[in-house]
Amino acid sequence: MADPENEPILSALEGVPQYVLDHAPLLHLFSKDRHRPSSIAAQVPNTHPAIDFKTVPVPSPPLTLDNLDQLNSVGANGGRDCYLTSNDDVTKSPKWLEGVQVDANGGTGESKTGVVIVVDKGGGVVDAFYFYFYANNWGGVVLAKELGDHVGDWEHNMIRFNNGVPQSVWLSQHANGAAYTFSSLNKDKSGKRPVLYSANGSHAVYPTAGKHDHTIPNLPLPFPFILVDETDAGPLYDPILSSYYYTYTPPTTSTDPFTGTFTPISPSPPDTPTRFLHFTGRWGDAEYPESDPRQKGKGLFGFKKFVGGPTGPADKQLVRAQVWPQNQWSAGQRIRTGLDGRSWLRDGLGKLACCGGLGRSKAERERNKAMKGVKRINVNGEVVG
């Protein structure tokens, strides 16, 4: 069996900065997770566009990754209220929700299950985003209730490079996440690639195997509390083997990230799709109403069993000042310098600023106050509205 940790980096990707490949993350999938990385293209024929649970006509059928952004013209909100809605009852566990099995090399065959986006910030600083797509998200169990499930799931890591040298890494975890120095993360046998862990069902990314509490944003409790993810050293997934590659240039006359330019990195195949990256809608079903039998009586304290699907990579702040994205918890972020208990105490407790305004400047408090209500967060932390 081939060992992805010892395999040479793909030589066919001459157009991709070598350091983006040399230091790309490797992900251990959870051994018992039914939902593996999924074909991005397969999500389209297995779904149909809907607004308010009503199917909307496709302007120029059939829908593909090459024309998905045509849905931005449907509805009254520039496509933002359009959901790629499953053709099947998801409670019947259709096979396509399980994704693609990872092969012995860590790839997913001909199926493209990831997106790598390179953003040159100037001055030698480059942010490389590694996105992983899953057809389904299992939200987990809280007080014996399964909550936060949704169709479609985009997770990512971002590595910030300075003159080709990796400096820090962002690990997305639900609506938030954690930043680490590159040197603090465990590496593969080459000593170059971070080895990370994808949580069971939720696919949040963590630096170690085990149980990870995410009840309090930015405060990684060293013991399971209420909202808990679990990781282990399951199959190793190597995203560079099965991804599309792009550069991203932000728009100059708009603040809408979907109007930026995605350019396939040469020598990408001439048929590499780009228009799906401009789709402003959601990659899964809308949150089912309480009257839906799949939802009725299955929530807890206002949280739902099923929530809405996510937006795509363009909506994940590809142009960011810090390693982390700006959100209501970003004032409490800092770059963690280790994985041990002492580092948790030193780096974690300093993040209590997120929980009550402690240590925030007046400008930070005003900014976060203004952001209230902009995003709705479900029980497992996914941004859903």
| Structural domain boundaries in the chain | 31-371
The pLDDT tens digits of the residues spanning 82-116 come to 999 999 999 999 999 999 999 999 999 999 999 99
* C-alpha to C-alpha distance for 377 and 303, rounded to whole angstroms: 10
Q: Which residues in 260-380 belong to E strands, given as ranges?
A: 261-264, 335-336
How many residues make up the chain in this entry? 385
Q: Helical H runs in the chain?
A: 18-22, 341-343, 349, 353-356, 362-371
The pLDDT tens digits of the residues spanning 275-316 come to 999 999 999 999 999 999 999 889 888 889 999 999 999 999
In the structure encoding, which two tokens stand for residue 297, read together?
Answer: 């009586």
Q: Say if pTM beats, i.e. exceeds, 0.85.
A: yes
N- to C-terminal Cα separation, the chain? 43
* C-alpha to C-alpha distance for 201 and 61, rounded to whole angstroms: 33
Residue 360: per-residue pLDDT: 47
**Residue 310 to residues 120, 148, 284: CA-CA distances in angstroms?**
26, 12, 7
Kindly give the parts of the chain with pLDDT less than 50. Answer: 1-2, 6, 8, 10-12, 353-361, 364, 371-385
Left if phi > 0, otherwise alpha if psi is -120 to 50, otherwise beta: which for 133? beta
In the structure encoding, which two tokens stand for residue 173, read together?
Answer: 């975890």
* C-alpha to C-alpha distance for 265 and 195, rounded to whole angstroms: 25
